[in-house]
Every structure is written in C-alpha cells, then in structure tokens.
Structure 1
Amino acid sequence: MKKIILALLLATASLYALEVQNTTIKFTAFKTYAKKGVSGVFDKIKINTSKADTVVALLKNATAEIETSSVNSGNKGRDAKLVTQFFNVQKVKKIEAKIIDVQKDILVLQLSMNSKTLNIPMSYTVSDNRVNAQGTIDLADFMMLKSLKSINKACYTLHKGKTWQDVNIYFTMQYK
C-alpha cells in the first residue's frame, strides 16, 4: 500500500512540473552620441533545462548556446554587417550562457564570449508563466573592442562616428 501511495504522489508531482516552452534572447546596442538603440534577437539558440517544481529551480543551471550568425535585427544588410564586421572579426561563432544563481529579484548569468567568461547580474520578473530578465554587458570586458572598432568604422556615417560599448541584454522564457 505504501508503494502505491508513493507512486501516486510521484505521478501527481510530475503533473505539476514546469518546463520551458519558448525562449527569446534579445539585445539592444547603441549608436550615435544621442545613444539611439538598435535591437535584435538571435534566431538559432539551444536551450537546455530540466523540468522543475518552481520557477527558481527551472532557472537554476539553465543553459543557452547562441549562434552569432543567426543575429536578426530586422534589417538583412545590418545583420550581414554584424556578422562580418563584428562577430567574425574576432571569430566569435557562439555565445554561451548559464544561470548560476537565482535570488529574489536578481539572477546571475555566466556569459562566455570571445574566450572570456563573466558573471552578469540581471534583474528579472515572473508573471503569466513568463520570466523576463535584463542586464547590461560592456564589450571591453569581453575583449571585444577590436570588433567594436570594426563595426564603428563600417557604419561610421550611420552611427555618426559613435558606437557604444555597452549592450543591454534580455531574455524571455515562457514555461508551462
């Protein structure tokens, strides 16, 4: 009888396990001295998570692998420049991310790009079966100033001579 009750409890618990349904990774980079934002997403990302009983458990140790060639800003010409004049300059083919800590309103994203790994704090909210997180990276911290200089040169007129080195990063994770 105890085995039957335990089996029923385990089966019931698994019915309420949360799992990720969809994830979007977005960025906003900045150009011109007026700091005009240019946003985009990455179309090719691999997300690894496990079912969990809580949102915090779902987030902990979630990982993502982002193909930089899949950058999508809604402008094919811009996307081609971002690949050739930014990511390819320093041979950055992928970006890896892992959530290593989750607190009440802050999570810590371990971000790896250009052979450099840093812990990035991100604020997050949870509502309507969705986690929204946002943070900021400095390209200098990832040794990406050579790429920044290249994209600034390639887009000098459009950027009016200024491409900023800080980039806002976001992710949205829907779960059920």
Structure 2
Amino acid sequence: MKKLALSLLVCFAMIQITSCKKEANNTTEQKEVTVEKKQAAFSLQNAENTISWTAYKTTDKVPVKGHFKKVNITSGGEGDTAKEAINNAEFSVPVSSIFTNDSSRDFKIRKFFFGVMDKTELLSGKLVLENDSIGNTDITMNGVTKNLPFNYTLNGKTFNLKATMKIGDWKAEKALDSLNTVCKDLHKGADGVSKTWDDVAIEITTVFK
C-alpha cells in the first residue's frame, strides 16, 4: 500500500513539473508574440509625398506643370522629428508615373525626353538638410549624379522644398532637343520660334500623418 501511495505521489509530482514547464513555455511564447517594433513618430513611408515640376516653353517662357504620381522611399525616412525623418532619406521616382493632365504630352515626355536619356527609368536622390532653411540632394539622371541645392520650410508636419534644375548639368541636352523637335509646333510662341527651356522648377511637399 505504501509503495502504491509512493508511486502515485511520484506520478503526481511529475505531472505538476511537466505542467509548470508547459505553462512557462506558453508564457514565453506569448511574450515573444506580443513584442512589437516601436513605430517612428514620423515616417516618410506613411506621409503624403508630392513631387511637382514646372518646365517652360516658347520664348515667352510659358509654364508647363506636372508631377510624379509615385515616390519610393528606398532608405531612411523615419525619426522622432520631421527633420530627422527627412534628413538623409533616399528616394526614387519612376519616370513612368509622370502626369500632366494630358496623356499625349505624358507619352512624349516619357518617350522623347526620359526615353532618350541613359538609364533613366528612375530618378533618384538623397535629401540632406544643412540647417533650418537650406539643404542639398544628389540627383541621379541620365547616368549622371549631380548635387542640387534647395531651400525648404518645415512648419509642423508640413515640409516644402523648392529648387531649380538645369537640364544641361545632367548632360541631357540631347533629350531636351529631342523633346523640342517632337513638340516643335506646340512650343512656338507669337514670334514663331520654337523653344524648350533648360531650367525646370522642382517642388517637393511632404505632409506627415
């Protein structure tokens, strides 16, 4: 009888030990599942990002406006402040996402401007904020990487950048001539001269959520 009681006691103890181990394992698993990565206070991935541009035609310098419908953040872009999220963020822009509210014009820009350039399916760059109002970005286009200075403002959750690109700085005169040729009549002013300007105004606006 004593042996039976002892055996039962040993079995009971083993069951208790096994149950405790399972409970401990379950607790550990639950802890592992509930651990989540801390979300950054400011994220360019989750922000509303717009890249707009203004080109010019005719000798009167008539503006032609457009924007890119897609912007990819390829590195960085997160921080405890808006400035921290923007500084050193890298991005790429598919030229196929260009939009001017004129499908014929969009096609011509893609084919006869960007399409003439070398390795320009994407425009890419890195934003560097030097102080509270100026910065620079290394823009890669036509196989050329060139530094572009810009001015910016940062009000609350809204970042706004303005810069002016000179197409010739990226050795893209051939692409500009190609576009002007296909748009020759459309780029004529009252003086009968067809002209596509070398400078393009760039504006980037980011609104953090």
TM value normalised by structure 2: 0.73
Q: Is the 8 A contact 2:52 2:67 kept in 1?
A: yes
1:166 aligned partner: 199
Cα deviation, 1:79-126, whole Å, max 9, x if unaligned, reads 000011111012421110111333121111111111111111111111
Q: Where do 5+ consecutive residues of structure 1 fail to align? A: 1-13
SS in 1 for 2:116: helix
- Tell me the residue number matched to 2:95: 68
Mapped to 1, the partners of 2:175 and 2:130 lie a distance apart of 32
- Aligned partner of 2:42: which letter? L
Displacement after TM superposition at 1:16 (Å): 7.5
Higher relative contact order (CA 8 A, sep 6+): 1
Which sits farther off after the overlay, 94-103 or 144-153? Answer: 94-103
Give the secondary-structure state (helix, strand or coil) at the position aligned to 1:110: strand
Over the residues paired in the alignment, what is the CA RMSD in angstroms? Answer: 1.6
Partner of 1:37: 63
User: What code does the residue aligned with 1:17 have?
Assistant: A
Identity %: 33
Structure with the larger strand share: 1
Shift in alpha-carbon separation, 1:100–1:16, aligned structure 2, 3 A: closer
Aligned to 2:19: none
User: Could you say which structure has the higher helix fraction?
Assistant: 2
- Whether the aligned pair in 1 keeps the contact of 2:82 and 2:157 (CA below 8 Å) is no
Question: Kindly tell me: are residues 157 and 27 of structure 1, through their superposed partners in 2, closer, same or farther at Cα, counting changes over 3 Å?
Answer: same
Give the counterpart of 2:85 among 49, 58, 61: 58
Q: Which amino acid aligns with 2:92?
A: E
Q: For 2:48, what is the secondary structure of its paired residue?
A: strand
Q: Does 1:78 pair with 2:116?
A: no
Contact 2:94 2:122 in 1 (8 A): yes
Counterpart amino acid of residue 18 in structure 1: F
CA distance in 1, matches of 2:49, 2:40: 20
CA distance in 2, matches of 1:26, 1:33: 23
Counterparts of residues 90-105 of structure 1 (less than 5 Å): 90-91=117-118, 92-105=120-133
Q: 1:50 to 1:151 in 2, by over 3 A?
A: closer
AA matched with 1:39: K
CA offsets, 1:16-54, max 9 Å, x none?
722221111111110011111111111122124342122
